[in-house]
Chain A
Amino acid sequence: MTQPFRLPNGGDIDRARPIAFTFDGIRHQGYRGDTLASALLANGVHLVARSFKYHRPRGIYSAGTEEPNALVQVGEGARSEPNVRATTLELVDGLVARSQNRWPSLRLDAGALNDFASPLMPSGFYYKTFMGPAGPRWWLRYEHAIRRVAGMGVAADAADPDRYEHEHAHCDVLVIGAGAAGVAAAREAARDGARVIVCDEQPPRASFAEANIALLSRTTAFGVYDGLLVGALERLADHLDAPPANVPRHRLWKIRAGRIVLATGAHERGIAYAGNDRPGTMLAGAAQTYVERFGVRPGSRAVVLTNNDAAYESARALQSAGVAIAAIVDARPQPTVSVDAIRVLRSSGIVATHGRLRVSSVDVASLAGGGSERIECDLVCVSGGFNPAVHLFSQARGTLRYDEKLAAFVPDRSPLAISAVGAAAGELPSLNLEPVWSIRARTGKRFVDLQNDVTADDIALAAREGYTSVEHLKRYTTLGMGTDQGKTSNVVGLAILAEAIGTPIVNVGTTTFRPPYAPITLGAVAGSEQGAHLAPTRRSAMHAWHAKQGARFVTAGLWLRPHSYPRGNESEDDAANREARNVRTNVGVVDVSTLGKIELMGHDVATFLDRLYINTIGTLGVGRCRYGVMLRDDGLVLDDGTVSRLAPTHYLVTTTTVNAVKVMQNMEFLLQAVWPELDVYVTSVTEQWAAAAIAGPRSRDTVAALVDIDVSNAAFPFLAVTSCNVRASQGAIPARLFRMSYSGELAYEIHVAADRGSDMWEAVIAAGEPFGLMPYGTEAMGTLRIEKGHIVVGPEADGRTTADDLGLGKMVSAAKWCVGKPLLSRPALCERGRWQLVGLTALDGAAMPRAAKIVADPDHALPNPMLGHITSWCYSPNLSQWIALALLADGRARHGETLWAVSPLADARVRVQVGPPCFIDPEGARLRT
C-alpha cells in the first residue's frame, strides 16, 4: 500500500485521508479526492480491462467522462454496478472494484483467442456470418453464445436497494459546466438579475457568492429535450463513505431553462496508429491531469505522439513531475513550438508498439517511409487534437460547422436559445494542428473506437463495401456505439471515412447526437415511482372494515376492492358463491364507492344529458333515476351508468369505476369546446361520497331499520331517489337513498359523505344482521350481474360493440339526436352476422372454459371458423350450473341452438346451449316488488 507513483506533493487530494480499496481482490491505497483511475495509476496499475470484441488488454485512456477503456464492475450483491468509468468514480473507503469481460483472469484471458481470430472477424462479421441468406435462424442459435463472449459487466440480480428521486427546477439561464468559461457566463447572467443554475459533472470546483446562482456539482446534464427541458443526473451519495439514510443515491433533475449556455469544454482525441491500445497509452491531456490534479506520475519514461502544440505543454508538465520524455513524435513537418532538452522527431509517427500487458517500447518512423527506430518507454501520450463537446448543442437541434483550423466540428446555429462558450465553442488556444488522423503501418491494429474495437481498416473495409453514409458506417461497424458514445473516436472515424471515399470531412458530416450524453442509472430514471409508488392506490372509506373482516382485495383501475370475504378455511370461490346465494335468499351489502360520480348543475343539464345519452333523460322527474348508455363519436358504446335528478337543476351521474375519468373529460370537452352556450357545470365527486348497495329480498327490511323515511314500495318505488338520514350509533348521517338494482333483486343504494362512510357501513351491517345480511365482494357482484345478463364496460362493451349488439338497441331514442348516433347507421354496424350478446349454459355438467371461442364443430379442421367468444363466465350458485355471457354472430337468432365453447389453450371443449342473456327473473318482477 505504498502508492509508488504518487508524487511527493501537489494535486487536489487530501493526503491526510488515505483510503483503502480493492481491485480484482488486491488491496490498494489511495487518497480522498482520487478517482479509482488516479488511485490505480498511483499504485502502478495500468492494466484494468479487456476489450469488448478481441479481449485485448486495455489501460486507462482518459481522465474523465469520455473514457472508452477503463470500465469496471463496482460494488457487491444488490449494489453491484457494471460498466462504471474508473476515471469518474470518486474513491470511497472500502470500494470494491473488479475488471470485466475476462476469464479466468484479467492477466490471462481465454477470450483473447478472439484477437488471433480477428482476421476472420471483419466489419459486419455478425451480420455476414449469422444473419446472412440463411436467415435469422442461425442468429437465434448463436446469439446467446456471442453475447456471453462479447460482453461487458454483469447486472446485479437483486432489486436495487438504493433510493432515487426526481426534482423539477426552473431558471432563466442554465449554465452547463463550471470551468472558467462557465463560471464567467454564470456571473455575467447573474449580474443582469437572471436566476441561474450551474450544473457541473465534477466535485465542487467553483463557488458563487451571488444569491441568484445555484450550483449543482456532481451533476451531469445528459440531454436537451423539447422546450429547453434539460435532464441532469446529480450523484449525491456515491462519493460518501457512509451515505446517510435520508440521502437518495441519485437525483434526476428536470430543469426548464429560458436559455442554455454550454460550457462543456472539449475532449482530446486519439490518433489511429498500430498498437495504439496497449495499456500505458493515454491522451496527453489526461496524463497531465493525473500529474496536476491527482499528484500521480502515470509512467516513468514517455513517448508523446502529437499533431498539434497542446501535447508540448503536457510533455513539460510530465517532465517537471519527473517523467522522462524519451521523445516527442510530431506528425507535423514544422512544429511551431520548441522545448528544451526534449528530443522532437518531425514528420514522424508510431508504427508499432511492444509489450504484453503494458507498453514497453514503440517503433517510430518517418511518415515518408523508411526504417524505424525502437524507443523504450512505459507510457505513450497521444494528442490528435480536440473535439468541442457539442453533444447537447446538437441535441437542441443545433447545426455544426467544420472548423478547418481545429479540424473539428463546432456549434454553428440552433433555432433554440442555446449557445456555447469557451472550448465547447471551439475557443481553444492556438494549436497549429495538422490533421493527421492515422499513421500507416505494415501490421498491427490501428484502433479508432477503443470501446467497440473498431479499427481504421474496419472503416476502410466498410467504405469499400458501400457503407459510405456516416449513419450506415456507424451501424455496420458499431463505431461510436459504446457507452462512451465515441467521444474520443467519432471524428477520427469520420475523417478516415472521408479519406477512404475521397471527400472532404465536412461532406461526411456527423451522426446524430442523442441523449444520454453519458450513461445514467435506470434507478434514477424510475425515481421514486417504483413498486407500490408506481401509481396511487385508492381505497374506499370502508377499506379498513373490509380488511378487518379478512377481505381479499382486487384492483379495479387504481382502486382496491374486496373480492370476497372468506370465513375460516373457506376458499375465495366458496365465499363468493355463499355471498351471491345470500343476496338472492336474504340480503347482502357491497361497497360501490368506487363508481364514478359526477354532479351536474345548471339550467341546461337535461338538454346536455339528452345529447350525451342514447335514451331520453329530459323527461326524468325530480326524485327519479334512470339507467343510461352513452356512445363515442364513432357510435360504439363508451359507458353505462345511472342518471338521478336530485333537484330541478341538480343531477347526479354515475359511471363505471374504470371509465370515471374518461367520461368526466368527455363531458368537459363537450361543454367547453362544442356547446359552451349550455348552462351546465360538472364536478367529479367520486371521492367525496361513500356508497353501499343493499340487495336482496330482505333489503327493504334492512333499509327500513336503517333510515328515517318510509321505504315501502308505494312511498319509495323502483328508480326513486331521495335524501334521508341514516341512523348510526355515532349520530344521524345525511344520506342520498336510491332504489336501483344491479343484481336483479330488490335493492337500494346509500350514498353518504366519505368521512361518514365507515359509520354508515357499520350501521348497515347492524341493521341487516337480523335479516341475514352478509357483505359481498366484486366476485359475487359479478356472478349476480352475469345471472341477470347485465353488461360490463370492458368484457361486453369492448369498444367494438354497438348498443344493439348488447341488446340495448331499443334504448336508442328515435326522437332525438345524441353523440355517436350519426355513425350508428354505417352499413358495417347494421349488417347481418354482427356479434350479439347471448347467454350460454354449459351442458353435460361441465365447467365453462374461460375466455373460450365458440364454434359449431369442435373437430373442424384448423382454422376452425369462430362464431363468437365468451366475455364473462361463472358458476351460478343460484342455478347450480356454469353459465356465461358471450358475443355470438347473429346471436339473437340462435337462441336454443347447441354450440361448442372451445379453448385450445386449456384443451377444453364444452357443449353450450344458447339463450337470452338474462337467467334470473327476466320480467324484472323482483326489482319492482
Chain B
Amino acid sequence: MLTICCPYCGPRGQSEFSYGGDASVARPSPEAGGDAWFAYVYARHNPKGPHQEFWQHSAGCRAWLKVTRDTRTHDIVAIAALAAK
C-alpha cells in the first residue's frame, strides 16, 4: 500500500485516497476539436518510470493532488495540490 503525503494532512495510507487517472495528458480547451478530445479521453502512454497521476484525498480533505509515481518501484517522487480551494 502506498503512503501518500497529502500537502494538507501529512502522510496517509492509500486507502484514504481515490485514484483519478493519468495527469500527464493535457485537457484540451473547450474549442478544441474531436481529435484532441479523443486523444485526451482514450490515448494513454504506459511509461516505465515516473508517471503523473491524479489522486483525491477523498476520505480526508478532498483535495485533488498531482502525484508523480515511479511505475517501476511505486515510489512517490513528487506530490502537489492542484488548487488552494
Known contacts A226-B1, A227-B2, A397-B73, A822 near B56 by CB under 8 Å: no
**Set of chain A residues within 8 Å of B31, measured between Cβ atoms:** 817
Judge whether B28 and A227 touch: CB under 8 Å.
Answer: no
Q: When the two chains form their complex, are residues A823 and B38 in contact, meaning their CB atoms are under 8 A apart?
A: yes
Residues of B near A673 (CB, < 8 A) are: 27, 54, 64, 82-83
Count of A-B contacts with CB under 8 A? 72
In chain B, positions 49-82 with a C-beta closer than 8 Å to chain A are 54, 56, 58, 62-64, 73-74, 76, 82
Encoded as 1 (CB less than 8 Å from any B CB) or 0, chain A from 21 to 64 comes to 00000000000000000000000000000000000000000000
Q: Are B1 and A254 in contact (CB under 8 A)?
A: yes
CA distance A226 to B4 in the complex (A): 11
User: Are A823 and B37 in touch, CB under 8 angstroms?
Assistant: yes
Instruction: A91 to B25: give the CA distance in the assembly, Å.
Output: 60
> Contact check: which of B1, B2, B54 meets A669 at CB < 8 Å?
B54
A contact residues around B58 at 8 Å (CB)? 665
B85 within 8 A of A: yes
- Determine whether the beta carbon of B32 is less than 8 Å from that of A668: no
Asked if B83 and A669 make an inter-chain contact with CB atoms under 8 angstroms apart, the answer reads no
Which of B1-39 touch A at CB < 8 Å? 1-3, 11, 13, 18, 20, 27-28, 30-34, 36-38
| Tally of contact residues, B, Cβ under 8 A | 32
Given the complex, which residues of A lie within 8 Å of B34, measured CB to CB? 822-823, 825-826
When C-beta atoms are compared, the residue in chain A nearest to B42 turns out to be: A634
Query: Contact at A672–B83, with CB atoms within 8 Å?
Result: yes
Q: Is A589 an interface residue (CB 8 A)?
A: no
Q: Are A229 and B33 in contact (CB under 8 A)?
A: no
With the chains together, A893 CA to B66 CA distance in Å? 48
Q: Which residues from A are CB-within-8-Å of B63?
A: 672
**Is the beta-carbon distance between A671 and B83 smaller than 8 angstroms?**
yes
Q: What is the minimal beta-carbon distance from A259 to any residue of chain B, in angstroms? A: 14
Q: Are B41 and A256 in contact (CB under 8 A)?
A: no
Which residues of A222-236 have CB atoms within 8 Å of chain B's CB atoms? 225-229
Contact of B83 among A228, A254, A611, A676 (CB under 8 A): A676
Query: Would B82 and A634 count as touching, CB distance under 8 A?
Result: no
Nearest-CB residue, chain B, relative to A415? B73
A825 to B37, CA, bound (A): 11
Name A674's closest neighbour in chain B (CB-CB). Answer: B27
Q: In the complex, what residues of B have CB within 8 A of residue A633's CB?
A: 37, 40-41
Query: Which B residues are CB-close (under 8 A) to A668?
Result: 56, 62, 64
Give the distance in Å from the alpha carbon of A676 to the alpha carbon of B2 in the complex. 28
Tell me the complex Cα distance, A227–B70, Å: 12
Report the separation of the CA atoms of residues A254 and B33 in the bound assembly, to the nearest whole angstrom: 48
* Chain A residues within 8 Å of B27, by CB: 673-674
Q: How far is the CB of B76 from chain A (nearest CB, A)?
A: 8
User: Complex Cα distance A602/B24, Å?
Assistant: 30
Report how far A595 CA is from B82 CA in the complex, Å: 29
Asked, given contacts A822-B33, A825-B34, whether A665 binds B56 with beta carbons under 8 Å apart, the answer is yes
Which of A225, A611, A668, A676 has the largest count of B CB atoms less than 10 A from its CB? A668
- In the complex, A858 Cα to B37 Cα: how many Å? 42
A137 within 8 A of B: no
Q: Is the CB of B41 within 8 A of A823?
A: yes
Task: Indicate if the CB atoms of B37 and A669 lie closer than 8 Å.
Answer: no
Task: Check B28 against A822 for contact (C-beta < 8 Å).
Answer: yes
Within 8 A of B (CB), among A654-696: 665, 668-669, 671-674, 676, 681
Q: What is the CB-to-nearest-CB distance from A170 to chain B, in angstroms, rounded to a whole number?
A: 8
**CB <8 Å contact, B64 and A669:** yes
Distance to closest chain B CB from A672 (angstroms): 4
Among residues of B, the one whose C-beta sits closest to the C-beta of A632 is B41
Distance between B1 CB and nearest chain A CB, rounded to angstroms: 5
Question: Which residues does chain A contribute within 8 Å of B30, judged by CB atoms?
Answer: 611, 817, 822
A227-B76, A256-B11 known; 11 other A-B pairs, CB under 8 Å? A227-B2, A256-B3, A633-B40, A665-B18, A665-B20, A665-B58, A668-B56, A671-B85, A672-B85, A673-B83, A674-B27
Q: List 13 A-B contacts (CB under 8 A).
A: A225-B1, A226-B2, A226-B3, A611-B30, A665-B18, A671-B85, A673-B27, A673-B54, A817-B31, A822-B33, A822-B36, A823-B38, A823-B41
Which residues does B use to contact A, with CB under 8 Å?
Answer: 1-3, 11, 13, 18, 20, 27-28, 30-34, 36-38, 40-42, 54, 56, 58, 62-64, 73-74, 76, 82-83, 85
Q: Which 5 A-B pairs have the closest CB atoms?
A: A676-B83, A822-B37, A227-B3, A817-B30, A672-B83
